Amino acid sequence: MGRRRYRRAVHFVAPVRRLTGGSLPAGKRMAAVGAVAVLGLAVHTGVPAAAARFPGRPAVPAARAGPADPARPAQPAAPAARAAPATAARPAVVPAEAGQDSRSSGQRAAQAGAFRQIILPDLLIVAPKGLTRAQTARLRKITGVRDMISFDGAEITAGGRKVSVIGVNPATFRSWVPLATASSESFWAALTQGEFVAGQSAASRLGLHSGTSYQLTGASSQVLRYGMSARLGLSGVDLLVNLQTSRKLGLVRQVAGLISAPGVSLPTLTRQVSKILGPGGRIEVLRSRALPVAAVAPGSRPASYLQLFKASAAQYCPGLSWTVLAAIGQIESADGTNVGPSSAGAMGPMQFLPSTWAAWGIDGFGDTGPPNILNPYDAVPSAARLLCANGAAAGGKSLYRAIFDYNHADWYVNEVLALAAEYAADYS
């Protein structure tokens, strides 16, 4: 299918118009994607926030070195085009010692200012004594594990009140939070430069004020400037600090981690992870619940892309979540903002190759005449039809395979599912 990647700005409020050729009209109003808990310590699981907290013991300094935290290659938050073919392998992960960083604060802030993608986690793992290097290596080698990140954490006090804090590498942790937060340059720059940041609810509860310094007390006390708050999507986590501050506070090294393995069944993944963690480990399932399916009255003609995605799923692939079509439409063309052709010749709001369009293109919503690859009223229903033929309506592994058939790359499937989860949270 398509070979482009566009920034995730949603044009759901823009009207959809019948096209006879060319690109979609310019000047559409844009509504930013709301942040979504595509990951978190209790997100989409029903687990109370208290159950997701770290072991209830004081933070203690750890003498041993924790496992290396992978440093991902920096990538612009909103790349203009997908340069590599759909089958290209993802960039290799370059290991770096988590606590070492000789760059200037400006360089660190610049690196923290870019992220590769939003990663959809499947499991949260907690090892009360900290993950060992051997455990981390074995977890990464589990068949189907695509991404993993580990971080420090403990309960400490802030202004005399107990809080749950985690210590992270901003450059790598950024991909695991909601999109709106991942896109906030100021949030990650503050964290990188040594300030502490907070989840929105924690900031409100604690009465934090940006630019004010507060005393945080773990194994030792540190007076730190408070940066800002943002939506973390991490129930049970109040504050974030960077790795250097984590060491000073004496947080438990590598106490928890997030694992993404979208192609593996949860029972299999959980069983393998549990075996590695041992009896003291704890696992929370984070894989999103079923994506929403829209009920749309037949015969109505959509007036916006939001309505178009919902109606196309309901009428042309019953059982398929409209959020999957929305995610594909956004990733492929930013909802018709750039209809191509791509370097591979893909065209239209859903970026069909002409050969694929010849087999699957249909007239949608009462349109007549030859199916038009540039017309969203034809293209979106055709995408739903193609996904449905590949089993997307069945969900689970069938949905994964259907999206993979649309664009043959695991990273593409991960991005579609992650963005679909965002839409599910913000528009359901």
Q: Secondary structure of 172-233 in the HEC alphabet?
A: HHHHHCCHHHHCCHHHHHHHHCCCEEEEHHHHHHHCCCCCCEEEEECCCEEEEEEEEEECCC
Establish if 63 belongs to a structural domain.
Answer: yes
Establish if 97 belongs to a structural domain.
Answer: no
Q: Is the pLDDT of residue 125 over 70?
A: yes
Q: Cα separation of 6 and 49, whole Å?
A: 35
> How many folded domains does the chain comprise?
2
Label residue 360 exposed, middle or buried (CB < 10 Å: 0-12, 13-18, 19+): middle
CB atoms within 10 A of CB 189: 20
Q: Are residues 113 and 251 in the same domain?
A: yes
Q: Are residues 390 and 365 in the same domain?
A: yes
User: Which of 254, 285, 316 is a domain's end point?
Assistant: 285
Q: Cα separation of 228 and 311, whole Å?
A: 40
Lowest mean pLDDT among 24-28, 251-255, 357-361, 415-419: 24-28
* Spatial contact of 105 and 192, defined as CB atoms under 8 Å apart: yes
Q: pLDDT grade, residue 388 (50/70/90)?
A: very high
Q: Are residues 165 and 264 in the same domain?
A: yes
Q: Are residues 271 and 297 in the same domain?
A: no
Q: Is the pLDDT of residue 345 over 70?
A: yes
Q: Are residues 346 and 203 in the same domain?
A: no
User: Which of 225, 254, 285 is a domain's end point?
Assistant: 285
Q: Are residues 110 and 257 in the same domain?
A: yes
Establish if 38 belongs to a structural domain.
Answer: no
Q: CATH number, domain at 405?
A: 1.10.530.10
Q: Are residues 328 and 351 in the same domain?
A: yes
User: Which of 250, 285, 320 is a domain's end point?
Assistant: 285
Q: Are residues 298 and 275 in the same domain?
A: no
CA 6 to chain CA mean position, Å: 15
Q: What is the pLDDT of residues 91-100, one digit of tens each?
A: 222 222 233 3
Q: Are residues 230 and 141 in the same domain?
A: yes
Q: Is the pLDDT of residue 101 over 60?
A: no
Q: Are residues 187 and 312 in the same domain?
A: no
Give, for 256, the enclosing helix (H) or strand (E): strand 252-260
Q: pLDDT grade, residue 57 (50/70/90)?
A: very low
Q: Are residues 227 and 260 in the same domain?
A: yes
Establish if 209 belongs to a structural domain.
Answer: yes
CB atoms within 10 A of CB 131: 25
Establish if 88 belongs to a structural domain.
Answer: no
Q: What is the pLDDT of residues 181-192, one digit of tens each?
A: 888 899 999 999
Place of tokens 């604060």: 105
Q: Cα separation of 161 and 262, whole Å?
A: 38
Q: Is the pLDDT of residue 44 over 50?
A: no
Establish if 19 belongs to a structural domain.
Answer: no
Instruction: Tell me the residue range of the domain where 254 lies.
Output: 49-73+103-285
The SS3 of residue 320 is coil
Give, for 11, the enclosing helix (H) or strand (E): none
Q: 0.85 exceeded by the pTM?
A: no
CB atoms within 10 A of CB 421: 26
Q: Are residues 224 and 272 in the same domain?
A: yes
